[in-house]
């Protein structure tokens, strides 16, 4: 039975205290440092002396602590978590979402005989525990909330457990949002890091057409404002006609079905240098709770010399140093005659090495080799 308003007032001292704590819980979604304030407020309400919040995440775990010796937490993570008899007993005794009273799952007589208690709990003045395993929606990992206090303070009681019960729905919503945002940021960071390895400047747009990520080269192009710029999170081209086409293309790519949407291509005139080659392609993300990445914008600069892929070509395809050097030049569109002149070798030698490069890479013609080289990252 969920707690009533009267129960909540008794547990928290006043409705104002309860509302302030709920407000802090939701603020912690975007300000993770506030989770410790949430725990401190909860610990105050249940007369606890140490409190932790923990969730296993695919990347970095969510961990927050209040009123706990840092050395105690380090000792727990590094060893005592693996021999904690309370965790297994509570998993057997209580369902997810139920308040877990340690003394009900594991009597003191058994707890006090354990290595966990004598070498960890007792030195850090812990004895009684009260926790809850917070189930989250979808495939999100459950989050564990736990509080301890000394033996002389007595075991946790029902009215203290109402603090957990009252805050449970708010913690579920806030933690779900926090984890989803963390996963989204990690996802975008992974995409952004991967894009840095490739030649083109790349910009990511959300479902409203706003810029949510940009590679370093893209940021550099946007800063110069020559041909293309960003304002209030939106992309704009300098020429009115091209800008109209760009906005229409962004709308078409974002709103059309991923399976039928074709890339949009636009030449972007610049005051300095040859036009940029702008391509927009759809990109769908299944992450919830955020404006998902919806499209990628690639900006190619024909005047920019490609970085050498010689080292990768040698590793992947067993090219000799001379073959790898010639492959680089073939990737730039150079002919065998131009390669011979640049490297100061005989034309027949250049042709011989060109044939070997094509054979080793499985390319039938130079155009195929160029595509293969363009697909390789810069390392």
Read off the pLDDT of each residue in 243-256 and give the average, rounded to a whole number. 88
Contact 41, 51 (CB under 8 A): no
Residue 1, pLDDT score: 52
> Rounded to 5 degrees, what angle do the CA atoms 359, 365, 369 make?
75
Sorted by where each starts, the structural domains of the chain and their CATH numbers stand as: 5-181 (3.30.450.40), 196-300 (3.30.450.20), 310-374 (1.10.10.10)
Q: What is the reported pLDDT for 7?
A: 55
Q: Which residues are within 8 A (CB) of 345 and not within 5 positions of it... i.e. 6 or more apart? A: 339
Q: Which H or E run includes 211? A: strand 211-214
From residue 88, give the alpha-carbon distance in Å to each of 102, 106, 138.
Answer: 11, 10, 24
The continuous run of DSSP H or E covering 202 comes out as strand 201-206
Q: How confident is the model at residue 289 (pLDDT cuts 50, 70, 90)?
A: very low
278 CB neighbour count, 10 Å cutoff: 25
> Cα-flanking dihedrals φ and ψ of residue 68, to 5°?
-130, 140
pLDDT at 334: 82
At residue 159, does pLDDT exceed 60? yes
Instruction: Name the nearest CA neighbour of 42 among 10, 61, 17, 73.
Output: 17
Q: What is the pLDDT of residues 188-206, one digit of tens each?
A: 566 656 555 555 678 888 8
Distance CA 110, CA 72 (A): 22
35 token code pair: 């989770």
Of 14-28, 29-43, 198-212, 252-266, give the range with the top mean pLDDT.
29-43
Percent of the chain with pLDDT over 90: 42
Q: Considering only 23-32, 70-79, 281-290, 354-363, which range has the smallest mean pLDDT?
A: 281-290
- H/E stretch holding 140: none
Residue 148 phi/psi, 5-degree rounding, is -130, 160
Question: Quick one: pLDDT at residue 229?
Answer: 93
Q: What is the pTM of this model?
A: 0.54
Chain-centre distance of CA 20, in angstroms? 30
Distance CA 51, CA 131 (A): 9
Q: Cβ(212)–Cβ(206) under 8 Å? A: yes
Q: Find all residues with CB under 8 Å of 310, minimum gap 6, and list them.
A: 319, 321, 324, 325, 327, 328
Q: What angle do CA 85, 135, 39 make, to 5 degrees?
A: 75
What number is the average pLDDT over the span 258-270? 68
Question: Binning pLDDT at 50, 70 and 90, where does residue 260 land?
Answer: very low
CB atoms within 10 A of CB 289: 16
Both ends of the chain: CA-CA distance in Å? 60
Question: CA torsion 118→119→121→125, rounded to 10°?
Answer: 90
Sign (positive/negative) of CA torsion 175, 180, 181, 183?
Answer: positive
3-state secondary structure of 63: strand
How far is Cα 22 from Cα 25, in angstroms, rounded to an integer? 5
Lowest mean pLDDT among 116-120, 200-204, 234-238, 323-327: 200-204
Q: What is the pLDDT of residues 94-152, one digit of tens each?
A: 999 999 999 999 999 999 999 999 999 999 999 999 999 999 877 778 899 999 999 99
Q: What is the pLDDT of residue 124?
A: 94
* Mean pLDDT over each residue of the chain, to the nearest integer: 84
Rounded average pLDDT over 334-355: 91
What ranges in 112-157 are assigned the alpha helix state H?
Answer: 115-116
């Amino acid at each position: 039975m969920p707690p009533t308003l009267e129960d909540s007032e008794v547990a928290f001292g006043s409705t104002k205290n309860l509302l302030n704590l709920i407000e802090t819980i939701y603020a912690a979604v975007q300000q993770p440092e506030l989770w410790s304030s949430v725990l401190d407020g909860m610990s105050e309400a249940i007369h606890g002396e140490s409190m932790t919040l923990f969730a296993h995440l695919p990347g970095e775990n969510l961990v927050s602590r209040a009123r706990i010796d840092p050395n105690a937490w380090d000792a727990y993570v590094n060893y005592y978590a693996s021999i904690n008899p309370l965790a297994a007993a509570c998993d057997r005794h209580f369902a997810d979402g139920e308040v877990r009273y340690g003394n009900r799952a594991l009597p003191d007589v058994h707890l006090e005989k354990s290595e966990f208690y004598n070498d960890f709990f007792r030195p850090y003045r812990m004895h009684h525990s009260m926790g809850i395993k917070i189930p989250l929606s979808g495939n999100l990992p459950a989050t564990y909330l736990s509080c301890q206090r000394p033996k002389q303070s007595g075991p946790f009681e029902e009215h203290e457990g109402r603090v957990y019960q009252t805050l449970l729905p708010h913690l579920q919503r806030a933690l779900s949002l926090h984890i989803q945002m963390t996963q989204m940021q990690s996802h975008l960071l992974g995409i952004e890091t991967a894009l840095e390895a490739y030649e083109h400047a790349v910009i990511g747009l959300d479902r409203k057409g706003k810029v949510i990520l940009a590679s370093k080269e893209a940021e550099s192009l946007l800063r110069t404002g020559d041909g293309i710029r960003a304002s209030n999170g939106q992309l704009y081209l300098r020429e009115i006609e091209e800008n109209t086409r760009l906005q229409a293309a962004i709308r078409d790519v974002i709103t059309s079905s991923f399976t039928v949407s074709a890339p949009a291509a636009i030449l972007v005139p610049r005051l300095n240098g040859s036009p940029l080659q702008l391509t927009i392609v759809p990109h769908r993300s299944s992450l919830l709770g955020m404006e998902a990445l919806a499209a990628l914008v690639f900006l190619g600069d024909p005047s920019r010399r490609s970085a050498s892929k010689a080292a990768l070509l040698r590793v992947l395809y067993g090219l000799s140093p001379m073959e790898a050097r010639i492959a680089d030049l073939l990737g730039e569109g150079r002919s065998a005659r131009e390669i011979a002149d640049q490297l100061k070798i005989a034309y027949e030698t250049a042709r011989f090495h060109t044939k070997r490069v094509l054979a080793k890479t499985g390319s039938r013609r130079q155009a195929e080799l160029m595509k293969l080289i363009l697909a390789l990252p810069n390392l």
